[in-house]
Amino acid sequence: APVEAISKSSLQPWHCCHKLIYVRPNPKTGVPIGHWPIPEAFWPDQNSPTLPPRSAHPHVRFSCLDSEPMVIDKVPFDKYELEPSPLTQFILERKSPHTCWQVFVCNSAKYSDLGQPCGYLKASTALNCVNLFVMPYNYPVLLPLL
């Protein structure tokens, strides 16, 4: 499983962070551009008259397993810079700008607690910041099909 249980004795400051991302506006229009939503933390029930309550801020989890970043020409992605934190410091200190950690939203899939990957965390090539790339839901399966 991509997310492992961590005992309290091995907790590090970056294991649980509540941090912001920088949403930069388009320099020409001044309006932020986004192509992909962050998935909801529930699977919609067509028999329910209302949607379940949700947090205003999505809870994104990540896997510490190294993966290859995936980008395909003509398939857009969203890129957000993470606020400096113990997590970004840890990722930058790894000095691995060509690998990434997949991100997930729990309960975003019908039959899976973790859901499918919806993006990844990756250090910039210059190792001066960490970015969240938001991709189409389950992009590791979708992108090779395109």
Read off φ and ψ for residue 17, nearest 5 degrees: -125, 145
pLDDT at position 2 over 50:
no
Whether 96 maps to a domain, the answer reads yes
Number of domains in the chain: 1
pTM: 0.85
Dihedral of the alpha carbons of 143, 62, 95, 129, in degrees to the nearest 10: 90
Distance CA 131, CA 122 (A): 5
- Positive or negative: CA dihedral 82, 92, 137, 60: negative
Residues 98-107 pLDDT 10s: 999 999 999 9
Whether 43 maps to a domain, the answer reads no
Whether 109 maps to a domain, the answer reads yes
Residues 36-73 pLDDT 10s: 999 999 988 889 899 889 888 888 899 999 999 998 88
Give the chain's mean pLDDT.
86
* Domain that residue 119 falls in: 58-146
**Among candidate residues 111, 136, 120, the one with its CA nearest the CA of residue 60:** 120
Whether 34 maps to a domain, the answer reads no
